Amino acid sequence: MTGLRYVYAVCRPYGTPLQAQLTGVGGDPPRLLPHHGLVAVVSHVPEADFSEEPLRAHLEDLDWLTTVARAHQGVIDALTTVTTPLPLRLGTVFRDDSGVRTMMEEREESFLRTLDRLEGRVEWGVKVYVESERTPETSAAPAPKPASGRDYLRQRRMQTKSQDDLWQRAETFATRLHETLSGVAEDSRLHAPQNPTLSGASGRNVLNAAYLVPRVKSEEFVEKVDRTKDDVPGIRVELTGPWAAYSFAGEAATGKEGP
């Protein structure tokens, strides 16, 4: 089959086959491309979509990007069940198999060092949200209609103070939670808070963290998160994972070269 080579991840050789019905980006099943002590997981994609100019245009198309991202993540998730993958950046493509092998040759030492560090470990994501301030329609006891302008200003000051108090509790809670989870994890990353317009999540994000956790400690990690979920009214904790260790792959995951 002709076309460019889309690279999902690099890993060490492994014996357990991926699920038979797995398809990758564009519907093409992923295959393994070995080189020395590494394996690249690749599939064929059309030049019409993934050569430099079309790809740059497609990256502005949210629907297209979402479809590709889901297929990419599906392959990474499948790999994570059978080995420790080192994910490459979404849209990493090469002209042919030779280009992929050259990339592995040039970065072999870095790949092997990172894979050694990530072996047997997964990434868990934890987000803390402050729930949006409730409106009178959603409040259990709606605020009385202000009798005057002075009364209105007093109500607004009380609402602002209540929200400020909640923010203070949320920051204290998030700091304590991060310290607790970092005690179980081997490493952690604090990411920028998510934009609610892009994420679609309700509330304001005050903690967006990733934790590198040995698989054997994952149950303990999840239990620690679960025990905190109802600690503070008005604050929501979300746990995601286990994922491949995207946040801890470093430069090895950038996949800069293209066709």
- The structural domains of the chain, with segments of one domain joined by +, span 4-118, 121-248
Cβ-Cβ contacts under 8 Å for 157 (sequence gap 6 or more): none
The pair of three-digit structure tokens given for residue 130, joined into one six-digit string? 């402050």
List Cβ neighbours of 145 (8 Å cut-off, separation of 6 or more).
none
Q: What is the predicted pLDDT for the residue at 135?
A: 39
The 10s digit of each residue's pLDDT in 160-185 is: 555 667 778 888 899 999 999 999 99
- Rounded Cα distance between 94 and 104, Å, is 12
pLDDT (average), residues 187-207: 81
Mean pLDDT of 15-19: 80
Q: Which CATH number fits domain 121-248: 1.10.10, 3.40.190, 3.30.70, 3.40.50?
A: 3.30.70
- Strand positions, DSSP E, 70-133: 86-87, 93-94, 121-130
Q: What is the pTM of this model?
A: 0.74
- CA 166 – CA 239 distance, rounded (Å): 21
pLDDT more than 90, % of the chain: 53
**pLDDT > 70 in the chain, percent:** 80
